[in-house]
Structure 1
Amino acid sequence: MKKPKLWTKNFISISFSNLFLFLSFYILLVTLPSYALDELHSSSSMAGLMTTIFLLSAIISRPLAGQWLERAGNKKVLLAALIIFAAASLLYFFPSSMVGFLVIRLLHGIGFGMATTVVGTIVADIIPASRRGEGMGYFVMSTNLAMVIGPFIGLLAIHQWGAKTLFIISVIVSICALITGLSVKQDKTETTVQPKAHSSFSFSNLFETSAVPISIVGGFMAIVYSALLSFVSIYASEIHLESIASMFFVVYAILLLASRPFTGKWLDLYGPNVISFPCIALFAIGMFILSQSNGAVTFLLSAGLIGLGWGTLFPTFQTIAIQDAEPRKRGVATATFLSIYDTGIALGSFVVGIIAAKVDYGTLYFFCSFYILIGLVLFYFLHTKKSASAKGAAQHQAKAQEI
């Protein structure tokens, strides 16, 4: 039997739009705090708000975007989101105070939250159901590539050519996200809009309850991932490996890319449990090796294992969130997953920062490896056991109907 086509024009276009969205995100993520300190002469706490305000506005806008998707449809919300995102990028040239920058970060975060929600929903509609695990894995690779390329471009731009060039690059990338996003054509098989005569901003409208359990697992694990994003380069300097610190996420991405053709297919063939349990273990082992690293080999080995582990878990969890929802609720399910995930990142950046002030980074990553194993237990109770119970109930009901 011939497999349904995955690499369609729509799939490629929406994946590139996602790549450009996250490129802009990472380009500014690693540079704006230092810009605030050096150019705006702000305090460290105020510089940290550059990221916090952005993430909070993205988290708040996502559930609303998920509901708007049901009412207005994918294309209209995508257009609005990408225009807001690109327009916010243009505004970075103008403010000369922290207050002005924080207002722009608020607007930019709204556009980012809306755009990533609708992009995630569109790709879930485009991918054939029988290849959803494989397709989501390839789609999330665009985020992983942005995570590697974005910081490199951002740091190179601000150090070599200055902030003005940095903002020009951000604008160009945002416009590319808009162009590639608008090239996606609405397909007859995609989610259709189902207008409601009476709607309210209730929890059930803003959040997809079926996606909450796996989203909690994702948010729980994201706390550890935030410790990597925030402190792995500082940890590398602490153990005298600053010369290869930039290679950590490169190796992470290489191992992730190499495994992607297999892990996505295995998810479709054998289900999420066969993928998730080994990957959680790999994530924990990688963090443990990182905590004990005293040379380049173990440092980069940990990067590869974490890439295989967490890099596979993220698209797997997102796929579960989408598959458990009704087709018309995929937008809300995507918003629910990403909102809870980003909450884990934001909370982790704050909490892990407090812990890192009291213990060395090696100790921090050592405890993180055991924290991940708690996530394994959480995954079992919130997904595996629950799915087994639901499957058993369905089989029991089917037998009762036969009788």
Structure 2
Amino acid sequence: MSSNDLEKEVGIPAAAEAAVDDFEPDPTTIPIWSKNLVLAILCSMCIGLAGQMLNPTLPLYTVEIGFPEQMAGIMLTAFSIGSLLFRPIAGQLVDYIGRRKMVLCGSLLVAFSFLLYLMSTNFYMILCVRVMQGIGFCLTNTGIGTVASDIIPKARITEGIGYYALAGAISMTVGPAVGLELKNMFSMRGDFIGGLLLASICIVASRFISYEEKLKTRKPGEKIKISLFEKTSLLPASMIFTATVAQTSLTAYLALYGRSIGLEGVSSFFLFTSVGTICARAFAGKVTYRLGEKKVLWAAVLVTTCCFFAVSFAKTMPVLIAIAIVYGFGYGVLYPVTNAMSIRNAIPENRGAANATYSASFDLGTIVGGSVWGIVVANLNYPWMYRLAAVLTLFIIPLTLIYQRKFVEWR
């Protein structure tokens, strides 16, 4: 039937018929919340809290049992190295064997590591347990992150990742304080038992996640092929790597910078950063849908760049706190947008590798940043370190242009 015949017979203009055919539903009407997403967020928060509790307390414990302060910092590095080296393997295991199985295996490994801490008194034994714990966290985070990317509707992936990432932001805010409080009340046994309980909650919660996983298939006897990275995720991973290297100038050196200019209470900077991050991630997805990822990402990059410059001139705590909140907003938007970009173009069977590639950029950025900024401070000073961090952050913008040329539909 022609368009004119259709118009005569039923009274619908041809233009209106075409408009109906081309109609696309509003993505914001697609349901995003489900039992599986809530359980994934719960698992991420529990395992994140278990890890963050040890960051301020384990170095103290190392010194308390008789080892020099120089060895205390190795505990944090050992965790990152264990996690980074296992990322490529974790991504393939998640894609071939299953997301939920790897979450369970990783959570069991983390729980077992807390049991070993309770029996460890030798530095090298604690160090080995720390590396093992890094592997356990790597498996759990890669698995649960892939679960989240599987169950969030693709049309609302940025918003969904923003909600999922709230678990990480909350654990980063609450975890260190909880860890220190437990240590003060019950000694390190309180931290180890608390971490064991949190890992156990993750184990139980992961058993109630249920959906059909799309996994890679292999022929009988065929070995799992280990790929170091997922190609479609390299550019977004490079963006967050750049942001993480810059951010390390704050996490590793801001306290020393504050001491050098006579500021006390600089640690509150990170509390207010987390407040800004939590607020930003609560609405980042909806703003991104309205304005487009490129505009929102560029705005976040420019905001964080200005914050690094501002830190280099800050001399009072009120100024630093104001910078912290604004920086939290910028970084809180940057993470879910780049994370969504890293997942979107990977086929479902490769989402584990995509998540592993993206997560590895954090580990690598932390290791590289800690070393590079130490050299910068030794040869220049703290203000110049933050100015260079600002310049480095701007390099994310050309990376977005390369990404847009590769994926022309991105806006």
TM-score surpassing 0.5? yes
What is the distance in 1 between the residues matched to 2:399 and 2:93? 31
Paired residue total:
384
Distance in 2 (alpha carbons) for counterparts of 1:384 and 1:345: 27
Q: State the AA in 1 paired with 2:350.
A: K
Distance (whole Å) between structure 2 residues aligned to residue 98 and residue 81 of structure 1: 24
Q: In the alignment, which residue of structure 2 is the partner of 1:284?
A: 305
Q: How far does residue 236 in structure 1 lie from its aligned partner after superposition?
A: 2.9
1:123 to 125, 148, 152: 148
- Decide whether aligned partners of structure 1 residues 110 and 166 sit closer, same or farther in structure 2, where only a CA change above 3 A counts: same
| Structure 1 CA distance for aligned equivalents of residues 301 and 222 of structure 2 | 40
Is it true that 1:111 corresponds to 2:136 in the alignment?
A: yes
* Residue matched to 1:299: 320
1:328 and 2:349 correspond: yes
- Tell me the residue number matched to 1:53: 78
Instruction: Tell me the CA shift for residue 270 of structure 1.
Output: 4.0
Write the letter of the residue equivalent to 1:193: L
Alignment check: 8 A CA contact 2:276 2:327 kept? no
Equivalent of 2:262 in 229, 240, 245: 240
1:222 pairs, out of 244, 262, 265, with 244
Q: Which amino acid aligns with 1:386?
A: K
| 2:14 corresponding residue in structure 1 | none
Aligned 8 A contact 1:132 1:268 in 2: no
Tell me: CA distance 1:73–1:139, structure 2 relative to 1, closer, same or farther (3 Å). Answer: same
Deviation at 1:238, TM superposition (A): 3.1
Letter in 2 for 1:32: L
- State how far apart, in whole Å, the 2-side matches of 1:347 and 1:274 are: 28
Question: For residues 256-271 of structure 1, what are the structure 2 equivalents within 5 Å?
Answer: 256-271=277-292
Larger CA deviation: 160-169 vs 192-201: 192-201
2:43 is the counterpart of 1:17? yes
SS of the counterpart of 2:267?
A: helix
Q: CA deviation at 1:206?
A: 4.1
Amino acid paired to 1:118: G
Please give the alpha-carbon distance, in whole angstroms, between the structure 1 residues aligned to 2:67 and 2:297: 45
Specify which of 49, 64, 83 is matched with residue 38 of structure 1. 64
Distance 1:161 1:72, change over 3 A: same
RMSD of aligned residue pairs (Cα, Å):
2.1
Would you say the 8 A contact 1:134–1:265 is kept in 2? Answer: yes
Structure 1 residues 391 and 39 mapped into 2: Cα distance closer, same or farther (>3 Å)?
Answer: closer
The one-letter code sitting in structure 1 at the alignment partner of 2:115 is: L
2:232 equivalent in structure 1: 210
Change (3 A) 1:252 1:332: same
Residue 180 (1) aligns with residue 205 (2):
yes
Partners of 1:344 and 1:200 in 2: CA distance? 31
Code of the aligned partner of 1:385: R
Contact 2:273 2:325 in 1 (8 A): yes
- Could you tell me how far apart the structure 2 residues matched to 1:121 and 1:360 are? 41
Partner of 2:53, secondary structure, is helix
Structure 1 residue 183, shift from structure 2 partner: 2.6
State the AA in 1 paired with 2:132. L
CA contact 1:40–1:97 (8 Å) conserved in 2: no
SS across alignment from 1:242: coil
Query: In 2 relative to 1, CA 378–89 (structure 1 residues): closer, same or farther, beyond 3 Å?
Result: same
Pair 1:350 & 2:371 matched: yes
Paired amino acid for 2:373: V
- Which shifted more, 232-241 or 7-16? 232-241
How far is 1:202 from its partner?
5.0
Identity among equivalent positions (%) equals 25
Q: How far apart are 1:160 and its partner, in Å? A: 4.6
How far apart in 2 are the matches of 1:157 and 1:11?
A: 29
CA distance in 1, matches of 2:47, 2:65: 25
String of CA shifts for 1:60-84, please: whole Å, max 9, x gaps. 2221121112222222122111111
Q: Give the C-alpha shift of residue 199 in structure 1.
A: 4.8
Q: Which residue of 1 aligns with 2:335?
A: 314
User: Shift of the alpha carbon at 1:222?
Assistant: 0.8
Q: Which amino acid aligns with 2:62?
A: A
Q: Give the Cα separation in 1 of the matches to 2:363 and 2:150.
A: 23
Per mean C-alpha deviation after superposition, the further-off stretch among 325-334 and 162-171 is 162-171
- Residues 48 and 168, structure 2, Cα contact 8 Å, conserved in 1: yes
Q: Higher Cα Rg: structure 1 or 2?
A: 2
* CA distance in 2: counterparts of 1:58 and 1:206, whole angstroms: 14
How far did 1:269 drift? 4.2
Deviates more, 1:343-352 or 1:312-321: 343-352
Aligned runs of 1:21-170 on 2, under 5 Å? 21-44=47-70, 46-170=71-195
Tell me which residue corresponds to 1:385: 405
Partner secondary structure for residue 146 of structure 1: helix
Q: Secondary structure at the match of 1:6?
A: coil
Aligned equivalent of 1:396 = none
Say whether the 8 Å CA contact 2:96–2:224 is kept in structure 1. Answer: no
The 3 A distance-change label for structure 1 pair 209 and 103 is: same
Gaps of 5+ in 1: 393-403
Q: 142-151 vs 354-363, which deviates more? A: 354-363
Q: Which amino acid aligns with 2:211?
A: D
SS at match of 2:87: helix
| Deviation of 1:309 (Å) | 1.2
